[in-house]
Amino acid sequence: MNMAMMRLRREDPRVVGSFRLHRRLGAGGMGVVYLGSDRRGQRVALKVIRPDLAEDQEFRSRFAREVSAARRIRGGCTARLVAADLEADRPWFATQYVPGPSLHDKVAEEGPLAASDVAAVGAALSEGLVAVHEAGVVHRDLKPSNILLSPKGPRIIDFGIAWATGASTLTHVGTAVGSPGFLAPEQVRGAAVTPATDVFALGATLAYASMGDSPFGHGSSEVMLYRVVHEEAQLHGVPDALAPLLRACLAKDPEERPSTLQLSLRLKEIAAREAQGGVPEARPPAPRAAEQDRPTGRLTQSYGDRAEQQRTQRRTQPGTPVPRTGGNRTGASRTGGGSAPRPAQRSGTGRPGPRSGTGGRPAPRTNGTGAGGTKGSGSGKRLRPANPRLLRQRLFVFVVVTLFVALAIALAQGCQGPS
């Protein structure tokens, strides 16, 4: 249905029910849609059935189904029903007016939408279809011209051929109801409609929004219906982020299509990712210190090794004297007992130089023979810092022993008496 505003024609009514009509919004196979308002100024989209169809009971029934469907659906993605009169000479009903162009007009005037916009529109429509299907209604004619892009989000309109879940799509034998190119294969075959029928139509609609063209091309109704049933959809212009999901929506078998809830969640993820530039969420960088502590081709140092290395570096900073006894160190580059302090030697891997001349880790401390001789005989072994707790214990023992010795001497002298 073309939703461009036009002036009222001579044959158009000026008042319907309690609504005054201002403009034509469009015309479809069932009737004409007008822009109207009530006494309070509330604007509505008012659909009036065509005069030549008002006497046709089949069209009256179809019109009544649209009103019934609008009353049953509770969701933000559809236009709210305001009023209706099914017994009038020309039955009509009014819904909340939705400002904004149709998806068809938007793409026709400005070209295909960006992947993020297509995903965002699709996510909102999928969520709206969840509410439609929960009411037991299948739209059966979802297409770009039946989707309005309002400032508050897309809205689904025109439930003129909506039907209860499981109903047949045939009005007459061999005649499918709907729009070629957006009908599901089961509608063409005359099989029962299900929520998956709307999923197929939504997939074709989003493909149109991405490419600016129907995924089944152009041609007569017969050609289009044949392609829908027997040929695969052409999605060459669909962005890579959307193509796999839309192809799943356009599966010939309804059981292979995603549900509206699954479709909504997946499209929300795609919309969020594409809005950020189409790149995966950035992970926080690894700490630089961890990279510095992990030499290439070597196992990570243990906590004890790193602590020992740090203590060695603190003790060997330039300007800090290192105690020596004049001996040399086996496997080290330093000879003699020179007095100039030097920083600790490092191997090619960035670790402290070997103490024992073998391996890349510091040699363990021993109480006996060192690398260059016996203890205290020029081994160059560094003095370990004193333990304050151990010093206090030794001082306490020394004081206690001294007191006991002094007391024992005093007692001994007292027992001998004066000579």
Question: Each residue of 236-252: pLDDT tens digit?
Answer: 999 999 999 999 999 99
Secondary structure class of 134 (helix, strand, coil): helix
Of 335, 336, 314, 323, the closest CA to residue 383 belongs to 323
Identify the top-confidence range among 222-226, 339-343, 346-350: 222-226
Torsion from C-alpha of 178, 183, 187, 192, nearest 10 degrees: -100
CB count within 10 Å of CB 361 equals 17
> For position 326, what pLDDT does the model report?
43
- Whether 231 and 201 have beta carbons less than 8 Å apart is answered as no
In terms of pTM, does the model score above 0.85? no
Q: How far apart (Å, rounded) are the C-alpha atoms in residues 232 and 184?
A: 12
Average pLDDT over residues 318-327: 46
> For position 49, what pLDDT does the model report?
86
Write the DSSP symbol of residue 271. Answer: H
Work out the pLDDT band at 385, boundaries 50, 70, 90. Answer: low
Determine the residue type at 7. Answer: R
pLDDT value at 27 more than 50: yes
Give the long-range contacts of residues 307-313, CB within 8 A, separation 24 or more.
308/362, 309/351, 309/352, 309/362, 312/344, 312/352, 312/362, 313/343, 313/344, 313/352
Q: How far apart (Å, rounded) are the C-alpha atoms in residues 113 and 235?
A: 15
Which of the residue ranges 56-60, 204-208, 353-357 would you say has the lowest mean pLDDT?
353-357
Secondary structure class of 75 (helix, strand, coil): coil
Q: How far apart (Å, rounded) are the C-alpha atoms in residues 20 and 314?
A: 91
> For position 306, what pLDDT does the model report?
47
> For position 309, what pLDDT does the model report?
57
Work out the pLDDT band at 386, boundaries 50, 70, 90. Answer: low
Told to judge if 141 belongs to the known catalytic residues of this protein, a careful annotator would answer yes
Work out the pLDDT band at 55, boundaries 50, 70, 90. Answer: confident
Q: By percentage, how much of the chain surpasses pLDDT 70? A: 67
Work out the pLDDT band at 281, boundaries 50, 70, 90. Answer: very low
Q: Between these two residues, 180 and 313, which has the higher pLDDT value?
A: 180
Torsion from C-alpha of 346, 351, 352, 356, nearest 10 degrees: -100
pLDDT value at 121 more than 90: yes
- Whether 337 and 326 have beta carbons less than 8 Å apart is answered as yes
CB count within 10 Å of CB 91 equals 22
Average pLDDT over residues 54-74: 80
Q: Between these two residues, 69 and 131, which has the higher pLDDT value?
A: 131
- Whether 312 and 322 have beta carbons less than 8 Å apart is answered as no
Both structure tokens of 392 = 């206090």
pLDDT value at 142 more than 80: yes
Buried b (16+ CB within 10 A) or exposed e, 51-83: eebbeeeebbebbebbbbbbebbebebbbbbbb
> For position 390, what pLDDT does the model report?
81
Q: How far apart (Å, rounded) are the C-alpha atoms in residues 237 and 401?
A: 96
**What structural domains and CATH numbers belong to the chain?**
1-97 (3.30.200.20), 98-275 (1.10.510.10)
Average pLDDT over residues 67-93: 84
> For position 310, what pLDDT does the model report?
53
Q: By percentage, how much of the chain surpasses pLDDT 90? A: 43
Kindly give the residue spans of alpha helices, DSSP state H, lying in 114-213. 115-134, 185-189, 195-211
Q: How far apart (Å, rounded) are the C-alpha atoms in residues 350 and 251?
A: 61
Both structure tokens of 32 = 């004409």
> For position 374, what pLDDT does the model report?
42
Average pLDDT over residues 338-345: 44
> For position 327, what pLDDT does the model report?
43
Annotated binding site: 47
| Given 38, 141, 158, 305, the catalytic residue | 141
Both structure tokens of 330 = 């086996």
C-alpha pair distances (Å), 313 with each of 341, 348, 353 = 13, 16, 11
pLDDT value at 312 more than 70: no
Work out the pLDDT band at 415, boundaries 50, 70, 90. Answer: low
Work out the pLDDT band at 303, boundaries 50, 70, 90. Answer: very low
Residues with Cβ < 8 Å from 360, sequence gap 6 or more? 298, 347, 349, 351, 354
Average pLDDT over residues 407-411: 86
